[in-house]
């Protein structure tokens, strides 16, 4: 936990949105930079690049909610398979 105590401010945990709010003071910049040990972790779960130097945010997301660099396209609504 890197010596951090408290509850991070999530966007909407009830809707399973565990992005940090812009006002979070617990988890932002409080993580450990693992770039040199685990280079495959250079981006968060949304594909947002984590800093190469300096601390990361604690958790799966470095960016704020909706900060995904390349959003997934919408699923087709009327797909017919023949």
β partners of residue 70: none
Question: What is the chain's pLDDT, residue by residue, as a tens digit (82 residues)?
Answer: 467 788 889 888 898 888 888 888 898 889 889 888 988 888 888 888 888 888 898 888 887 655 555 556 677 788 788 8
**How many angstroms separate the CA atoms of 61 and 68, rounded?**
10
Give the global pTM: 0.63
Return left, alpha or beta for 45; rule: phi > 0 is left, psi -120 to 50 is alpha, else beta: alpha
């Amino acid at each position: 936990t890197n010596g951090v105590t408290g509850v991070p401010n999530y966007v909407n945990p009830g809707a399973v949105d565990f992005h940090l709010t812009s006002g979070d003071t617990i988890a932002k910049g409080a993580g450990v930079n693992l770039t040199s040990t685990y280079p495959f972790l250079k981006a968060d779960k949304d594909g947002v690049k984590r800093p190469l130097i300096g601390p990361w945010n604690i958790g799966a997301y470095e960016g704020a909610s909706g900060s995904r660099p390349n959003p997934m396209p919408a699923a087709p609504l009327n797909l017919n398979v023949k």
